[in-house]
Amino acid sequence: MMELLVMITTESSKENALRMAKLLIQNKLAACVSIKQIFSIYKWDDDIEETKEFEITLKSKLELKDNLIEFLNKKSTYDVPQIIYKKYHSEVKYYDWLNKTI
């Protein structure tokens, strides 16, 4: 079965998101990283926050999950970084490319 890990986190600025994406690729923790601008509303310290953020979606190997969580917790600019993930099935060619890349 061709299974891979998709993990999503956020950063407060485009510069921080680009820095994170490049570090993930350079450290061979992700084969591909996508960044998109989002608008988030959430509760923080009893206040409702409304802010522009940058969502980072990374594609990686399942066995790198714990390393990725540790890395994102260390490198994130947030006190409590969003780190969510799921296992996905992949088409064979993409799966092979991902495994050769990292």
Q: How many domains does the chain have?
A: 1
What does the pLDDT read at residue 84? 98
* Percent of the chain scoring above 70 in pLDDT: 100
* Mean model confidence pLDDT for the chain: 97
Q: Over range 27-37, report the average pLDDT.
A: 98
Q: Over range 82-95, report the average pLDDT.
A: 97
Instruction: Give 29's pLDDT tier (boundaries 50, 70, 90).
Output: very high
Q: What is the CATH number of the domain that holds 32?
A: 3.30.70.120
Residue range of the domain that includes 64:
3-101
DSSP state letters, the chain: --EEEEEEEEESSHHHHHHHHHHHHHTTS-SEEEEEEEEEEEEETTEEEEEEEEEEEEEE-GGGHHHHHHHHHHH-SSSS---EEEEEE--HHHHHHHHHH-
What does the pLDDT read at residue 1? 72
pLDDT tens across 37-63, in order?
Answer: 999 999 999 999 999 999 999 999 999
